[in-house]
Structure 1
Amino acid sequence: MKSLFKVTLLATTMALALGATQAMAEDTAKATTDTTATAPAAPAATAPAAAEPAKFKSDDEQAAYALGASLGRYMDNSLKEQEKLGIKLDKDQLIAGVQDAFASKSKLSDADIEKTLQTFEARVKASAQQKMEADAKANEDKGDKFRADFAKEKGVKKTESGLLYQVDKPGTGNAPKDSDTVVVNYKGTLTDGTEFDNSYTRGEPLSFRLDGVIPGWTEGLKHVKKGGKIKLVIPPALAYGKTGVPGIPANSTLVFEVELLDIKPAPKADAKDATKPADAADATKAE
């Protein structure tokens, strides 16, 4: 769906047309498959021979077919995404438009086509916006309920910012500071259990400066020490907020299980720089 809104009007027109042709072919194939599925199995001796590989008269002919098939698959996926927005295009009319265009007898003028597609594009964008807002509200509601339920579990604590955490193993030594580099293993999921990141499966811990990640991590990891394990339930405001990122929808509450493997203090000069205000000389230069 995201890629659909980035294509130009001309590209949208081409993709829609080619997608319709592919959809017609798929419908025909599906009908054939359904009919075959209900027929009694033929004896082995009379089983039909395997279909021969497609043959083309030239490389150009095969390339043209491959291009059409590739664009058709892309547009078929786009049409399915549009149906999720409540927009269902009439495949018969799509096919008729393709055939009429190739026969140079389109029922619409170029101006009519452009105006219609502009209106259609606006509908798609409006529907997508409505769906995103509805999904964001649903995510917010689910997150609120999840956090309320989690807060009742044994050992769960809530900070002033709204962060919830549950220490499984406290660890030893000192808690990390903003300027420290920490090394962690972790698993991240949405409230429904959908996993979006996992350093364990990658087989490689993550190393980062504590003040260089989302606020929920910066605050949460200060409640555990080296060797410790903690569960963080992070509200959207301390994660990716109302925008989200790929794999994490807008207004998502995030659940992390984190193991703090190591803490590497920043060099003294870096730690000092991290705590002082902007350099006065730089500020003077800016003026």
Structure 2
Amino acid sequence: MKSLFKATLLATTMAMALNTPLVSAATTSAEQGAAAKADKSAAKFKDDDQQAAYALGASLGRYMDNSLKEQEKLGIKLDKAQLIAGVQDAFADKSKLSDQEIEETLKGFETRVKTAAQAKMEKDAKENEDKGTAYRTAFAKEKGVKTTKSGLMYLVEKAGSGEAPKDTDTVVVNYKGTLIDGTEFDNSYTRGEPLSFRLDGVIPGWTEGLKHIKKGGKIKLVIPPDLAYGKTGVPGIPANSTLVFDVELLDIKPAPKNDDKAADAKADNASAAASK
């Protein structure tokens, strides 16, 4: 039983190193639960406990198979037959390794996975940086594109009317966000709900970029990594990603006067500190 626990620990370790959820297989199994229950008679399980045991084994097996495929992406190829043999031997209490050997082996494996994952992240980050630079260089040559001192690039498609938003204003927008290869990671249009936020509460590329249009305006923003999510990235957006946003500014809601005064005081204090 201890060995079975070690196998589960291995799965958890692999999931943590790869930042993949252990429940993914169980979730898939749950989604198929209704169909499995309807087909219970065809499966010929003796009772609910027998079916539950099989489901647990199938869920664990599916998860481990997916994990092995993730290891291969890191250049680590584990022997599936040996994994199955380890599980069988654990149930038969005939493990070829002592508890200490299992623990030491798993610690070594965890180190290997983390090292390989880190190397892959660094490689991917460098590739993203190079591809982003090339994309921005090409975009800069398009008609109407402007580049600010910060490196932000934008193309005003519709100027809008009225005043441009200030940092303390709340803006309401519709937008689509993609990576440079066209992969979409966010879209308020498909959600059917615009996004509302204070302008200085988002990534720097948005805070700066939306000031170039007014209410009713539309703009394309090409944001370099240091004005977006930088070297770390976030789920769905890899490290060092250049981001492309198509944004429509629907409304601008000025901040209460007290907020404006507080922001001005904060800016004055920062300026005074910098001059000392």
TM class, shorter-chain normalised?
0.7 to 0.9
1:228 aligns with 2:255: no
SS of the equivalent of 1:117 reads: helix
Determine if contact 1:155/1:166 at 8 Å carries over to the other structure: yes
Match of 1:12 in 2: 9
Report if the CA contact (8 A) 1:189-1:256 is conserved. Answer: yes
Which position in structure 1 is the counterpart of 2:65? Answer: 76
Partner amino acid for 2:189? Y
TM-score by length of 2: 0.82
Q: Give secondary structure in 1 for the equivalent of 2:164.
A: coil
Residue of structure 1 equivalent to 2:104: 115
1:56 and 2:45 aligned? yes
Partner of 2:132: 143
- Secondary structure (helix, strand or coil) at the match of 2:248 reads strand
What's the CA shift string for 1:194-226, capped at 9, x where partnerless? 000011111111111100000000000000111
**1:266-287, CA deviations, whole angstroms, 9 ceiling, x for partnerless residues?**
111111112213999xxxxxxx
Secondary structure of the residue that 2:43 maps to in structure 1?
Answer: coil
Report the TM-score when normalising by structure 1: 0.79
Q: SS in structure 2 opposite 1:274?
A: helix
Shift in Å, 1:103: 2.0
Q: Is the 8 A contact 1:15 1:72 kept in 2?
A: no
What is the one-letter code of the residue matched to 1:135?
A: D
1:184 and 1:262 in contact (8 A); partners too? yes
In the TM superposition, what are the counterparts of 1:111-190 in structure 2 within 5 Å?
Answer: 111-190=100-179
User: Is the contact between residue 186 and residue 199 of structure 1 (CA under 8 Å) also seen in structure 2?
Assistant: yes
- One of 261, 265, 271 as aligned partner of 1:272: 261
Unaligned runs of 5+ in 1: 1-7, 17-49, 281-287
Secondary structure of 1:165 counterpart? strand
Aligned partner of 1:83: which letter?
A: E
Q: Distance in 2 between matches of 1:225 and 1:51?
A: 60
1:200 pairs with one of 189, 193, 203: 189
**Matches of 1:218 and 1:193 in 2, distance apart?**
23
Which of the two has higher C-alpha Rg? Answer: 1
- Following the alignment from structure 1 to structure 2, what is the Cα–Cα distance between the partners of residues 153 and 99? 62
**Contact preservation (8 Å) 1:15, 1:71:** no
Distance 1:279 1:236, change over 3 A: closer
Q: Which runs of 5+ in 2 are unaligned?
A: 14-38, 270-276
Letter in structure 2 aligned against 1:140: E
What's the CA shift string for 1:22-72, capped at 9, x where partnerless? xxxxxxxxxxxxxxxxxxxxxxxxxxxx99711122221111111111111
Amino acid at match of 1:101: A
Superposition CA RMSD, Å: 2.2
Q: 1:262 to 1:51 in 2, by over 3 A?
A: closer
Cα distance in 2, alignment partners of residues 124 and 236 from structure 1 = 27
Are 1:185 and 1:205, in contact at CA under 8 Å, matched by a contact in 2? yes
Counterpart Cα distance in 1 of 2:216 and 2:12: 54
Match of 1:263 in 2: 252
Matched with 1:248 is 237
Deviation of the 1:99 alpha carbon = 2.2
